[in-house]
Amino acid sequence: MKHDDAPILSPGQDNAQVLGMDFHHPVFPLSALAILAFILYALIYPDAANSHLTAARGWSIEYFDWLFMIAGNLFVLLCLALIAMPVGRIRLGGSQARPEYSTTSWFAMLFAAGMGIGLMFWSVAEPVAYYTDWYGTPLNAEARTPAGASAAIGATMFHWGLHPWAIYGVVGLSLAFFAYNRGLPLTLRSAFTPILGERVRGWFGHVIDIVAVLATIFGLATSLGFGASQAAGGLNYLFGVPNTIGTQLAIIVVVTAVALFSVWRGIDGGVKLFSNINMVIALGLLTFVLVTGGVLLFVNNLWSTALAYASHIVPLSNWFGRDDTTWYHGWTVFYWAWWISWSPFVGMFIARVSRGRTVREFLIAVLVVPTLVTLVWMSVFGGTALDQSAAGVGALADGISDVSLAMFQMLEHLPLTTLTSSLAILLVLIFFITSSDSGSLVIDNITAGGKTDAPRGQRVFWAVLEGVIAGILLYGGGSTALGALQAGAVATGLPFTLVLLGMAFCLVKGLREEQRGLAAAKLA
């Protein structure tokens, strides 16, 4: 559908060109200043920053748990409805648009950016944590029982299945539709033109984009910092490499250096390449664990995981009268706030690589396929870990001692431990690289006013800044400063929940207008 009226915004419309850079004024400078101020605060007063931001996170989770849960459920229902509705035939970019990337590369990129790194750690640690009552059990299921095992794997799938991907799907589809079908810049503010109109060019739009930048870079820097600690722990566990601040900083430097190479080469030469490598290694590791653990056991675990997910999704989605508050707030609501705070980054990156897909194709690939892949992944890794814990095999029999070591403790009792654990570390590092470079592209996109061809130096700036933030906070404030950064990122989940609800409304309104326009064009 073509719109005769010129768009309210165009990419780079309010940009400034300074010292060879091409950035949006005031989003770029205000974002940079806010990041600098926050880092100085967390570095100089790490304990106070951690205390204040943890309190803010706890307040939002305790008093607005109902809002997070209602929003998550609505996003799942909306995505499923859009798949079934006639608007599913609308093509992102118009009827003549065609996909820029093969389906395999497309899926590899969106999955790696979405949650690949988290699955590496939590697919083993999370079900064992629930089963052994590490920090509460889902629905107060009795720990270390068959019912407890079913609740554990069902709750893990609940946290990594339809709900988080629906959050990403709503954001990604909204950004892609308004950018490719309405000719607006690929920034978050563009999705609000149906209700804000010309005001998206003003401070309403500025605030939306700036908060998106802060949430993205804080989330990425937190993951990089904690991930370096986890990777160093794995190297120490396997090869005796000292888990010191020097080792962790070296990992950050290596990851950032490779991410810079990827960012410099862009999506085709960098992100797509590493995402495809990710997929090959992940598939190889998955197949190895599946075969060595037993194909029949996998089939049984696949069935039991699917059944547990189906039987627990409704009670776990309920927010009324929950008596498992410790677990519910500490896990589910925290996850929902975390996924929402990450949604600007993941949603925009998915939108960036999805031009030419239909709405139905987009949502099936973003919602249904990742859930099925996660089901298989959890059945292999989570199922194997639960079997070991229940049978009293290895360290997992005693529960979770260190989340970063859970995957390696599980692999220790399978053949070729050194090889598979080394592949796991490599996979973790490459996942970090793809998250860093895709995040840098997204932040650059927002701060360049929606331009996708801004100078390479700007992308490099954001990639370097992610590594510098993680390294400085890790060196200067340790886990306390990183904890403050993480709490700050999660706390942004509350205001962004309202942003996402508004975005969903605008998406439905825009799609219905597009469908009416296409129908009228056929009759003309």
User: Does residue 249 sit in helix, strand or coil?
Assistant: helix
Per-residue pLDDT of the chain (524 residues; tens, 9 = 90+): 444 455 677 888 888 888 778 888 899 999 989 988 988 888 888 888 888 888 999 999 999 999 999 999 999 999 999 999 999 999 999 888 999 888 888 888 877 766 667 787 789 999 999 999 999 999 999 999 999 999 999 999 999 999 999 999 999 999 999 999 998 999 999 999 999 888 888 898 999 999 889 888 887 887 778 778 778 888 888 888 998 889 989 998 998 898 888 888 877 777 788 888 888 888 899 999 999 888 999 999 999 999 999 999 999 999 998 999 999 999 999 999 989 988 888 898 899 889 999 999 999 999 988 899 899 999 999 999 999 999 999 999 999 988 888 999 999 999 998 899 888 888 888 888 887 888 888 889 899 988 878 888 888 888 888 888 888 877 877 777 777 877 887 888 898 899 999 999 999 999 999 999 888 877 76
Q: What domains does the chain contain, in order, with CATH numbers?
A: 19-514 (1.20.1730)
Distance (Å, whole) CA 49 – CA 47:
5
Whether the link from the prior residue into 242 is cis, omega within 30° of 0, is no
What are 55-62's contacts with CB under 8 Å, separation 24+? Answer: 56/487, 56/488, 56/491, 57/337, 57/487, 57/488, 57/490, 57/491, 60/337, 60/490, 60/491, 60/493, 60/494, 61/329, 61/333, 61/334, 61/337, 62/329
The pTM (predicted TM-score) of the whole model is: 0.92
CB 443 within 8 Å of CB 233: no
Provide the Cα torsion 510, 511, 514, 520; round to 10°: -120
Hey, what are 354's tokens?
């999805």
CB 219 within 8 Å of CB 345: yes
Say how many C-beta atoms besides its own lie within 10 A of residue 84's C-beta. Answer: 10
CB 263 within 8 Å of CB 457: no
CA-to-CA separations, 184 to 178, 263, 359, in angstroms, rounded = 6, 24, 18
CB 482 within 8 Å of CB 327: no
188 CB burial (10 A radius; 0-12, 13-18, 19+): buried
CB 74 within 8 Å of CB 317: no
Alpha helices (H) in 202-244, listed in sequence order: 203-239
Nearest to 472 by CA among 459, 488, 485, 489: 485
